[in-house]
Amino acid sequence: MLRQFLRKGDEMVSIFSTTDLARLIQGYRFYAKTEGKSDETITIVANSVGYLENFLRSEGLPTNVTQIGSREIRAFILYLQQKRCFRGHPLNKTQERGLSGHTINCYLRSIRAFWSWLVSEEIIEANPLARLKIPKAPKKVIRTFSDVQLEQLLSVIDTCTAEGYRDQAIILTLLDTALRVSELVNIRLDDLWLEEGLIKVMGKGGKERFVPIGKSIQRILWRYINKYRAEPATPNCDFLFLTTHGRPMTKDRIDKKMSRYGEKAGIKGVRCSPHTLRHTAAVRFLRNGGDVFSLQRMLGHSTLEMTRHYCELADVDVKRAHATASPVDNLTLKHGWSKMRIVNEAARHRGSVMSSRPRNLDCPQSDYQGMPKIVKRARRAPGPQGTSTRKVSPSVV
């Protein structure tokens, strides 16, 4: 259907003949679908604009897009910053904590995308969010699983059962490939190339890529398919991971199972979720010597900017890496100054200089103490026949 219409009396009225938010959301869904946007992206944008519409109606503000300006958007931002989690939710109780900065940022970016679409369709002339500064999401260090936590998580899974072996295969596959859980549940048998050690994955935006798997995962998946995979409920169901009833596993089902296993294992201090496995896989890949460009291809990121965040997560290993790759420690100096001689000379002069340091120096005491250690040692370097080359004020001489 090229155009959607609503009946009003005897005339057909296009959804674009009005500038009310409720009707325009329908139009956005239709256009975004034809542009190839994913269902998840469309839902996020439509829901975010719906939240804005509900807020405007509750406050008696206009819902006509031609009358909505930066003032109304700022009021909505303030409302989000003061809102408590799950307030007004039909199923969940209101919590004391407010919405996270990431949630607010996601709402506003989605609304900005919707208004950009309105401008592109010439429904409005200017985007009120174009000059509005959206609050940045806070940058937090994402916690990943430790070796002990991974061992605890896997130890509570009963791999003697078909369900337990499947769950273990899912967790280890996510850990080995750093896949999104939405990508994992859509893997079909034809996408799995066990002999070559590859999985064909359909990522965000319809971008297809090949992700390598290790030999351990090859063996685990082969055993799962040939011994533990349930009989499909329908003949055309060829998804890799199935429930015990033969239906495809879903993202929510895996989320709940991970959370349940985490509680059973007593894992604290880190969110037990499939996405945490993705973070853990990315950081471990870098720590084990993988390069950032290969990681970018594995994760399905379009730019290195997104992958750079995982490099920051791996920064905890910088001290350990510097201990073995220190430029000065590995420097070969002329005149026979070896690494051990540098260390020994530094230790010897530390005691002798401190005991014989004159009271008056060329520079103020505070300035001298603030100098880098290398500069201090240079000024205290031994002169000929063991005499000190330091400058001493005339009063001391």
Query: Which residues are CB-neighbours of 260 under 8 A, at least 6 positions away?
Result: none
Contacts 24+ apart (CB under 8 A), 226-235: 227/165, 228/162, 228/165, 228/166, 228/169, 229/162, 229/166, 230/162
Task: Give me the phi and psi of 355, to 5 degrees please.
Answer: -80, -30
224 belongs to the catalytic site: no
Angle 158-245-264 from CA coordinates, rounded to 5° = 30
CA atoms of 173 and 198, how far apart (whole Å): 12
Taking Cα atoms as reference points, which of 37, 197, 173 lies closest to residue 116? Answer: 37
Marked catalytic residue, from 257, 278, 279, 284 = 278
CA atoms of 283 and 241, how far apart (whole Å): 26
Q: 173 with 221: CB under 8 angstroms?
A: yes
Marked catalytic residue, from 37, 109, 200, 204 = 204
Marked catalytic residue, from 23, 251, 264, 275 = 275
**What are the angstrom distances between the C-alpha of 74 and each of 68, 79, 103, 108?**
11, 9, 16, 10
319 belongs to the catalytic site: no
Task: Give me the phi and psi of 67, to 5 degrees please.
Answer: -110, -5
**What are the angstrom distances between the C-alpha of 217 and each of 214, 220, 250, 280, 358?**
5, 5, 21, 17, 68
Marked catalytic residue, from 180, 229, 257, 279 = 180
377 belongs to the catalytic site: no
279 belongs to the catalytic site: no
CA atoms of 47 and 61, how far apart (whole Å): 19
Active-site residue set: 180, 204, 275, 278, 301, 310
